[in-house]
Structure 1
Amino acid sequence: MSLIFRMIYLLVASFFKPRLPIMYPENTLTLRVLPNDLDINMHMNNGRYLTICDLSRVDMFLRTGFARTMQKEGWIPVVSEHTMKYKKPLNPFQKYDVHMKITGWDEKAFHMEHRFLVAGRVVAEGTSRGCALSKSGVISPERVIETVRAQTV
């Protein structure tokens, strides 16, 4: 399945999932390693983990109302830092969960944690920092939260 099909599936599926709070949200996606996820070693390519983290963020944006707010305000999401630790490979057609949560924020960015799990065991984990940008610069997380709350009431 091409990434565009995963994105379309995610967009449709998000309408049937429960809404998430804007404060400290957590979500989980269940996926399978597909042939286009593989590298020459026949396991999930390390770059694909980052792409799957992006999909997880999109799911969170949709379910918290942040996506709608970004659209209304003309903001764009940007990841400024991302790290991953790989513990075990994900093999072809293996089922896995990717769990994401917002762990906090500072004056400029949200801090996120990503965990890839197989049967409850962590096979990879990472952290990222991300922010919302407008034409005038970085939007503080506090303003993001206030704006999302005001627009989703």
Structure 2
Amino acid sequence: MNLIFRMFYLLIASVFKPRLSIEYPSNSLSMRVLPNDLDINRHMNNGRYLTICDLSRVDMFIRTGLAKTMMKKGWMPVISEHTMTYKKPLGLFQRYEVKMEIVDWDEKFFHMTHSFVVGGRTVAAGTSKGCVVSKQGVIPPHEVMETVKARLEKVAS
């Protein structure tokens, strides 16, 4: 619940940002470490990195048109695996950029990378594997991409 304001801000801001290509999309969010991001060691909590990665994915869903397609079809995104490597801590009020990219997909999963960058230097990096599901099961990524492309083409014409 403590990220509700960030989520609302992101939902509104993402609508006004430039659209992203659906083909191997990547995005970037500029953020700042807030007091509720800190752990007892006074640096950003390791679990918060994963939550920020979630926000980055939501931004990408909105900006590629995937969010509208998922809502219309009753689909839901699910992360099945996520790893992070922490190289340098992020302190209170420190600015950072989180970069996310879909690097590949197979018959079931999208494969993504996440980088937390300060001054051009990566301070944490991770990978995640996720899929899109419906009541019938996993939607193959190629079908997800084709459906989004078809919807975008229909809207453009």
Pick the TM interval, shorter chain: over 0.9
Give the equivalent residue in structure 2 for 1:100.
100
Offset at 1:81?
0.4
Offset at 1:22?
1.0
**Distance of 2:18 and 2:81 partners within structure 1:** 28
Aligned residue for 1:15, secondary structure, equals helix
Offset at 1:132?
0.3
Q: Deviations over 1:14-64 (max 9, x none)?
A: 122110111100100000000000000000000000000000000000000
Q: How many residues are aligned here?
A: 153
**Distance of 1:58 and 1:14 partners within structure 2:** 9
Aligned residue for 2:103, secondary structure, equals strand
Offset at 1:140?
0.3
Offset at 1:141?
0.3
Give the equivalent residue in structure 2 for 1:36.
36
**Distance of 1:13 and 1:96 partners within structure 2:** 18
Offset at 1:142?
0.3
**Distance of 1:141 and 1:17 partners within structure 2:** 25
Give the equivalent residue in structure 1 for 2:61.
61
Q: Deviations over 1:50-99 (max 9, x none)?
A: 00000000000000000000001000000000000000000000000000
Give the equivalent residue in structure 2 for 1:112.
112
Give the equivalent residue in structure 1 for 2:45.
45
Q: Which runs of 4+ in 1 moved over 2 A?
A: none
More moved, 13-22 vs 70-79: 13-22
Letter in 1 for 2:16: F
Aligned residue for 2:56, secondary structure, equals helix
TM score, norm. by length of structure 1? 0.98
User: Structure 1 vs Structure 2: percent identity of aligned residues?
Assistant: 70
Q: Deviations over 1:95-133 (max 9, x none)?
A: 000000000001001000000000110000000001000
**Distance of 1:100 and 1:129 partners within structure 2:** 12
Q: Does 1:76 align with 2:114?
A: no
**Distance of 2:33 and 2:5 partners within structure 1:** 14
Which runs of 5 or more residues in structure 1 are unaligned? none
**Distance of 1:83 and 1:15 partners within structure 2:** 29
**Distance of 1:111 and 1:82 partners within structure 2:** 10
Letter in 2 for 1:36: N
Letter in 2 for 1:148: V
Which runs of 5 or more residues in structure 2 are unaligned? none
